C-alpha cells in the first residue's frame, strides 16, 4: 500500500502466535488500539458486534514481532537514482521490517549532525519504518580525522562506522576507540585490511583463478579482525563486527567472546546461502563486500549463529543501478538488495538446517533489537503493536516487477521463494498490506 492507514482499532483474526509454554503456534485473535496490543485470546471467531475499523484475516498465517534490519542502504541523500527514501522504506515494510539501521556512506557522508537530523526527519515524514543511522567514525570516511561523536550521537546516531571503508592508520583507529569508550558509544566496523585484496573482485580460490579475476583472501578479513579485537580489548570499547564471512573469523570471534570482550557480530543474509561458486559465468549480482567465500566458510557462519558467536542476520540491502551491474565483473558495483528477501531466505535457511522457525525469526527480530538497546517488540498484551503477519507456505517467484525496492539486483531473480508478508503494523499503525 502506498500510504499507511491509521485505524481506531484493529483485529487480527485466527493468526498463529507462538506459545512458549506449548512450544508451538496456536490460533489466536489479537485486538490492537492506541498503538498497543490490548487483548489476545483463543477465540477464533470475530465478534460481530466489534467496533473495529479494520479486521485482518490471518488464518494459516504466522503473527510475530516485526523485524529489525541492521544494514539497509536507502541511497538518499546523493544516489536517488539507485533508491529513494520512499522506495526503500516501502521495500522494508513489505519485508516486515519496522526498524532499520542506515550506514553512513551516503552522499554527503553522515559526519555532521545536521545531515543526521535531516535524514531522520525525512524518514519520519513517511511514517513507515524507523530509521536509525550510524554516524561516520572519521570525517568523510577518509580514515584521518575522527568525527564529533558526541554531537552525532545527540543528533540521533546509534553508533559509529566506516561502512566499507577501512582505516589505514591504526593510531587513528586507537584514538577513535578511546573516544568512543569514554562515552560508551558502540563502534560498528567491517574487518577489512586496507591493502590486502584491495583491488580484488571475489574470494581467492579455484573459481577465482578459473575466471581470471583478482582475489580477496581470507586474511584480508582476519588480519583486520585481530587488530580490531586487540584495540577493543585495550580500550574496553563496545565493538560490533559487521558481515563476517570466513571460517577463521568465526573461530577468532568465538574465542574473543569467551575471553569476555564487549563484542557482537552479524552475518549478511546472502552469505548463508551462496559461495564463490555462484559467481558462475561472471554473475555480477554475486559481487559483494566482503566476497562470498567457500562452502566451509558458509557452514561455519551457520554454526556461529547457532552457538551465539554471531548474534543476528541482516540483509545488507544495497540497491544498485542496473547499468552498474551490466558492466564487466571487475568494474561492476558490489551489493545486493535484501529487505524483501529477509524473511523468505531466513526461513529457507532455517528449514535446510532444521532450525525451529521461532528461533530463526528471533535472529531477525529480537536479537538485532537487543544489540541496538531498543525496546523489544513482543506479541503479548500491553506491548507496543509492532507486528508482522506472513504466510509461511506462500510461494512466489522473485521477479523485478514484484520488488518494491528501486534496486533489482539479486542473484535469486527468477527463483521460487517461500514465505510472504501479508501485513506490517508499526506502533499500532498499518504500514503495509498485501494487495
Please give the Cα distance from 346 to 262 (Å, whole number).
Answer: 27
Closest CA to 351 of 389, 382, 393: 393
Cα dihedral 210, 213, 214, 215 sign: negative
Peptide bond into 290 cis (omega under 30): yes
Residue in the block written with cell 580514515? 143
Q: Which helix (H) or strand (E) holds 170?
A: helix 170-183
Give the ranges where 236-390 is alpha helix by DSSP (H). 247-258, 295-307, 322-325, 342-352, 357-362, 366-371
- Phi then psi dihedrals of residue 127, to 5 deg: 55, 45
SS3 5: strand
Indicate the Cα dihedral angle 20, 346, 343, 385, nearest 10°. Answer: 30
Distance in angstroms (rounded) separating the CA atoms of residues 409 and 321:
8
Q: CB atoms < 10 A from the CB of 64, how many?
A: 28
Q: Which helix H or strand E contains 387, and what residues bound it? A: strand 387-397
Q: 60: left (phi > 0), else alpha (psi -120 to 50), else beta?
A: left
Which DSSP symbol is given to 156?
A: T
299 is catalytic: no
Residue the block writes with cell 563502534: 187
Is the bond preceding residue 319 a cis peptide, omega within 30 degrees? no
End-to-end CA distance of the chain: 7
Would you say 159 and 134 are in contact if contact means Cβ atoms under 8 Å apart? yes
Residues in the chain: 435
- Of 193, 266, 311, 316, the active-site residue reads 316
**Which residues are marked as active site?**
316
Amino acid at each position: 500500500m502506498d500510504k499507511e492507514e491509521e485505524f481506531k482499532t484493529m483485529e487480527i483474526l485466527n493468526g498463529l502466535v507462538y506459545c512458549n509454554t506449548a512450544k508451538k503456534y496456536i490460533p489466536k485473535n489479537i485486538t490492537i488500539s492506541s498503538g498497543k496490543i490490548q487483548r489476545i485470546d483463543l477465540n477464533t471467531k470475530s465478534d460481530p458486534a466489534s467496533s473495529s475499523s479494520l479486521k485482518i484475516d490471518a488464518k494459516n498465517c504466522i503473527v510475530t514481532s516485526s523485524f529489525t534490519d541492521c544494514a539497509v542502504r536507502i541511497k538518499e541523500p546523493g544516489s536517488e537514482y539507485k533508491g529513494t527514501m520512499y522506495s526503500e522504506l516501502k521495500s522494508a515494510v513489505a519485508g516486515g521490517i519496522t526498524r532499520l539501521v542506515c550506514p553512513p556512506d551516503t552522499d554527503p557522508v553522515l559526519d555532521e549532525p545536521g545531515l543526521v537530523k535531516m535524514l531522520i526527519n525525512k524518514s519520519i515524514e513517511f511514517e513507515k519504518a524507523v530509521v536509525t543511522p550510524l554516524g561516520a567514525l572519521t570525517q568523510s570516511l577518509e580514515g584521518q580525522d575522527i568525527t564529533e561523536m558526541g554531537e552525532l550521537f545527540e543528533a540521533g546516531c546509534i553508533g559509529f562506522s566506516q561502512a566499507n571503508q577501512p582505516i589505514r592508520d591504526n593510531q587513528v583507529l586507537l584514538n577513535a576507540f578511546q573516544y568512543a569508550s569514554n562515552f560508551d558509544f558502540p563502534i560498528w566496523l567491517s574487518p577489512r585490511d586496507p591493502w590486502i585484496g584491495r583491488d580484488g573482485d571475489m574470494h581467492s580460490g579455484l573459481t577465482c583463478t578459473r575466471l581470471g579475476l583478482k582475489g580477496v583472501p581470507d586474511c584480508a578479513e582476519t588480519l583486520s579482525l585481530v587488530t580490531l579485537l586487540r584495540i577493543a580489548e585495550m580500550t574496553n570499547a563496545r565493538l560490533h563486527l559487521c558481515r563476517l564471512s570466513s571460517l577463521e573469523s568465526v573461530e577468532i570471534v568465538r574465542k574473543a567472546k569467551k575471553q569476555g570482550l564487549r563484542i557482537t557480530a552479524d552475518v549478511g543474509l546472502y552469505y548463508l546461502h551462496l559461495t564463490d561458486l555462484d559467481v558462475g559465468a561472471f554473475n555480477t549480482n554475486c559481487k559483494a563486500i566482503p566476497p562470498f567465500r567457500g562452502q566451509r566458510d558458509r557452514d561455519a557462519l551457520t554454526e556461529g549463529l547457532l552457538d551465539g558467536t554471531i548474534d543476528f542476520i541482516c540483509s545488507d540491502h544495497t540497491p544498485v543501478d542496473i547499468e552498474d551491474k551490466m558492466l564487466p565483473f571487475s568494474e561492476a558495483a558490489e551489493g545486493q538488495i535484501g529487505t524483501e528477501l529477509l524473511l523468505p531466505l531466513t526461513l529457507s535457511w532455517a528449514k535446510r538446517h532444521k532450525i525451529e522457525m521461532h528461533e530463526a525469526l528471533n535472529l531477525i527480530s529480537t536479537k538485532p533489537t537487543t544489540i541496538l538497546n531498543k525496546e523489544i517488540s513482543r506479541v503479548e498484551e500491553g506491548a507496543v503493536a509492532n507486528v508482522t503477519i506472513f504466510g509461511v507456505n506462500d510461494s512466489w517467484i522473485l521477479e523485478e516487477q514484484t520488488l518494491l525496492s528501486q534496486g533489482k539486483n539479486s542473484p535469486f531473480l527468477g527463483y521460487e521463494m517461500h514465505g510472504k508478508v501479508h501485513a506490517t503494523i508499526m506502533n499500532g499503525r498499518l504500514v503495509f498490506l498485501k494487495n
